[in-house]
Amino acid sequence: MFNVCPNCGEYRADKIIVPEGAYAVCPSCEYHHKFLRLPLFVLTGASGAGKTSTCLALAAKAQDFVVMESDILWRDEFNKPATDYRSYRETWLQEHFPGR
């Protein structure tokens, strides 16, 4: 699921998840964006590198895997270059692979 709506382009992290059919609903335009939950393909990269555009293009073509950009979970507390951002990377594993 993306924070940028593929219909209206609004950045909204507060999308509503409809479990029947697995849809994320944009609060701005009420667009129902169908998505898979697993398997997960995470796209990372520098700011402004085109992660959102690439994820939207891949998601439109993907039918058997989930595409997400890593920025969805970013918080300032993860900005620790000395640890190679380890706690940020581990958050992905905790969110998607509990018990790891």
Q: What is the pLDDT along the chain (100 residues), one digit of tens a residue?
A: 467 888 999 988 888 888 777 888 999 999 998 876 667 777 777 778 888 888 888 878 877 777 777 777 778 888 888 887 788 777 765 544 444 4
The verdict on 48 and 90 lying in the same domain is yes
pTM: 0.41
Q: Can you give the pLDDT at residue 97?
A: 45
Chain-centre distance for alpha carbon 22: 14
- Which pLDDT does position 29 carry in this prediction? 96
Peptide bond into 6 cis (omega under 30): no
Domain of 75 in residue numbering reads as 37-96
Q: Please spell the DSSP secondary structure of 26-94, one letter per residue.
A: -TTT--EEE---SSEEEE---TTSSHHHHHHHHHHH-SSSEEEEGGGG--GGG--GGGTTHHHHHHHHH
Residue 56 near residue 4, CB atoms below 8 Å? yes
Q: Does 24 share its domain with 52?
A: no
Q: What per-residue confidence (pLDDT) applies to 100?
A: 40
